[in-house]
Amino acid sequence: MADNRIVEYSGQYIRNATGGTAGGAKLYVYDAGTTDLASIYTNTALTVASANPVIAGSDGLMPFAYRGIASYKVVLKTSADVTLDTEDNLPGALDSVPQILRAAEVRIDRPLCLGKWLAWLPDVEIGDTMSTGPGARR
């Protein structure tokens, strides 16, 4: 499965500034810090592209939209293009490949930060240096 995150506001009922239903509200999704429309998807596998903006139903329910690992910005507007909210630098999905395993060399010197990782490395002593990847040796 692709690393994905539900886009902010999708799957929620949208209300206007007075608390009424915001039928037809528009959710624009941009790459973080830009006005470039982002790639968003209608499924968690990130294989079916979604329209951008995403349009809420007449009851104000915003359809689900999904994003990959890149951070993003949302702009929520009414059907009349009045901005309700803007949020930038929202985090994308967590990458499922742990950063510690990507390093060419890892120095183990902070056991409290590593927690469960030490359980995977029973032969490693605090202060050891180890290499990771194919053919790596300690």
> Can you tell me the mean pLDDT for 94-107?
53
In the chain, % of residues over pLDDT 90: 59
Partners of 87 in beta bridges: 74
For residues 119, 95, 62 and 31, what is the CA-based torsion angle, rounded to 10 degrees? 150
Q: Within this chain, do residues 27 and 81 fall inside the same structural domain, yes or no?
A: yes
**Given pLDDT bands bounded at 50, 70 and 90, which one contains residue 98?**
low
Q: Give me the CATH number covering residue 45.
A: 2.170.14.10
Q: Within this chain, do residues 26 and 89 fall inside the same structural domain, yes or no?
A: yes
- 5 vs 2: CA distance, rounded Å: 10
Q: pTM here?
A: 0.69
State how far the alpha carbon of 28 is from the alpha carbons of 52, 66, 83, 103, 135, in Å.
6, 13, 11, 36, 46
The domain total for the chain is 2
Tell me what pLDDT residue 43 has: 95
pLDDT one-digit tens code per residue, 12-53: 999 988 999 999 999 999 999 999 999 999 999 999 999 999
60 part of a folded domain: yes
Q: Within this chain, do residues 90 and 115 fall inside the same structural domain, yes or no?
A: no
* Domain boundaries, position 30: 1-96
Q: Within this chain, do residues 8 and 31 fall inside the same structural domain, yes or no?
A: yes
